[in-house]
Amino acid sequence: MSNKQEFIDAVNSGKVLTRKCAKCGNLHLATVYFCQQCGHKEFENKLLDGTGAVATYTIITVPPAGFEKYTPYAWVVMKIDNYDLRISGFLGGIASPSQLPIGSKVKIIGYDDRGIILEKQ
């Protein structure tokens, strides 16, 4: 059983599929199978809005294969609004740190061959 596709489907509608531990309530990204906090294996799905703020980021100028045509671009770790959870992804069209200060509001817009795609709100 893989729940990756379900996770990607949620990302494509701008959401983050998380799993809430049925025992301790700890929230995880949906790609976790046992609770990191208590080891329990039953979860309930919880859909979060894919909006948040830049926790940290980089601007890539020497890319891995497949990303040449997008360079320069940002790779961002986003803190999800209202939750103690972070998710990372690709954010195009960024050439200078002044364009993306830490704390900038960003959101998830989809998933493709660049992974999870973010854009500025």
Partner 1 sequence: MEKVCVLGAGSTKYGKLDDSITDITIQASVAAIESAGIDPKEIDAGYISNVFGVADKQVHLGPVIMSNLGISEKPSLSIESACGSGSVSFREAFANVAAGFYDAVLVTGVEKVTHTGTEWTTTYFSYCSDFFYEGGAGASFPGLFASMARAYLTEFKATEEDFAMVAVKNHANGFLNPKAHLRKKITIDDVMKSAVVASPLKLYDCCPFSDGASSVIICNEKFAKAHSKNYVEVIGSGRGGSPATLQGREHMTTIPSTKLAAQAAYKMAGITPKDVDFAEVHDCFTIAEIVDTEDLGFFEKGQGVQAIREGRTSLNSEISINPSGGLKSKGHPIGATGVGQVVEAFEQLTGKAGDRAVKDAHIGLTHNFGATGASCAVHLFKSV
Looking only at residues 37 through 96 of this chain, which bind partner 1 when binding is defined by CB under 8 A? 55-67, 70, 73, 75, 77, 84, 86-90
- Return left, alpha or beta for 41; rule: phi > 0 is left, psi -120 to 50 is alpha, else beta: alpha
DSSP annotation of 113 reads T
Q: Is the peptide bond before 72 cis (omega within 30 degrees of 0)?
A: yes
Nearer to partner 1, 23 or 115 (CB): 115
Query: Residue 118 in contact with residue 90, Cβ under 8 Å?
Result: yes
Q: Tell me how crowded residue 85 is: count the other CB atoms within 10 A of its CB.
A: 16
Least distance to partner 1 from the beta carbon of 68, Å?
Answer: 9
DSSP line for 2-28:
--HHHHHHHHHTTEEEEEEETTT--EE
Least distance to partner 1 from the beta carbon of 13, Å?
Answer: 18
Nearer to partner 1, 23 or 85 (CB): 85
Instruction: Find the binder of partner 1 among 13, 22, 24, 31 (CB under 8 A).
Output: 31
Least distance to partner 1 from the beta carbon of 59, Å?
Answer: 4
Using CB under 8 A as the binding criterion, the count of chain residues that bind partner 1 stands at: 31
Phi, psi of 9 (to 5 degrees): -60, -40
**Residue 1 within binding range of partner 1, rule CB under 8 A:** no
Judged by the rule CB under 8 A, the positions of this chain that interact with partner 1 are 4, 29, 31, 55-67, 70, 73, 75, 77, 84, 86-90, 97, 102, 114-116
